[in-house]
Structure 1
Amino acid sequence: MELSSSSYEELIYQKIKEAGDKGIPQRDLIKNLGLDARVANTVIKKLIEQKKIKKKSIKENGKNVIKLFPNEEERIVIYVKLENIVEVPCFTCKNLSKCGNGGITTPSSCSILSKYILTSVSAG
């Protein structure tokens, strides 16, 4: 039974995700899955174009090895409701560019932010 192109994509992508930050050598991936090199290379190219994976040449034991890694952006998807964010005083503050730990203004020393947080907590 022949797998469809999307099945190859899912299979290859899953194996690359399982390898995580260590990556997986492209040659080993193709060999372990028993895929035709041309088919695998086409699928890998497609996954790279979709920005699901990245390909890097790394020196291991004195040899260049082509490794495949999952893209970090693909791992986490965060949904944020913007309704409450527009009320945060930081976004309209004239000191925003100077604010931060070690800066002139810090979130922990900002009276405007503290007041906003206390008001939000007591209202919630």
Structure 2
Amino acid sequence: MPKQNDLEQKALDIIMSRGEKGILQSDLWREMKATSREGSRISIRLESKGLIYREPELSRGRWTYRLYSRRQPISVDSIIDCPCLSCEENSKCGAGGKISPIECEKLVQWVLNEN
């Protein structure tokens, strides 16, 4: 039988993998091959530790909770095309230097176009 911490970590991994959509508590315990009682207790423990939050939701005519992670995996998607990452002047660039991000036209254009 898996340790309680292992089950909690597995549940947290599943919840985090669902991102902003979250996962229904009833779907979580099914995916974990756990009982409803075990799934409920695990989600309550994760909530009490501040790792997730639960919102009540009516699903298929029954009340359950949708579980959301308080932390999301880090993503570099928002900066992947930042000109600084491939700039030839990157090693010389810095605040107060001859080459500065404050004066960089490529960076200014990238920031303005990201909206």
Q: TM-score, normalised by structure 2?
A: 0.57
Secondary structure of the equivalent of 1:34?
coil
The answer as to 2:5 corresponding to 1:6 is yes
Tell which deviates more after alignment, 53-62 or 4-13.
53-62
CA–CA distance in structure 2, aligned partners of residues 63 and 38 of structure 1: 16
Which structure 2 residues correspond to residues 34-45 of structure 1 after superposition, within 5 A?
34-45=33-44
Q: Which runs of 5+ in 1 are unaligned?
A: 78-119
Corresponding residue of 1:18: 17
Following superposition of structure 1 onto structure 2, how do residues 1-124 of structure 1 map, counting pairs within 5 Å? Answer: 2-59=1-58, 64-71=63-70, 74-75=71-72, 120-122=95-97
Q: Match for 1:22: what amino acid?
A: K
CA RMSD of aligned residues (A): 2.5
Task: Mark the runs of 5 or more structure 2 residues left unpaired by the alignment.
Answer: 75-94, 101-115
**Given that residues 16 and 73 in structure 2 are in contact (C-alpha distance below 8 angstroms), is that contact kept between their aligned partners in structure 1?**
no
Query: In 1, Cα distance between the equivalents of 2:59 and 2:34?
Result: 24
Identity of aligned residues (%): 18
Q: 1:62 to 1:9 in 2, by over 3 A?
A: closer
C-alpha distance in 1, partners of 2:22/2:34? Answer: 19
Under a length normalisation based on structure 1, what TM-score does the superposition of the two structures give? 0.53
CA distance in 1, matches of 2:73, 2:6: 23
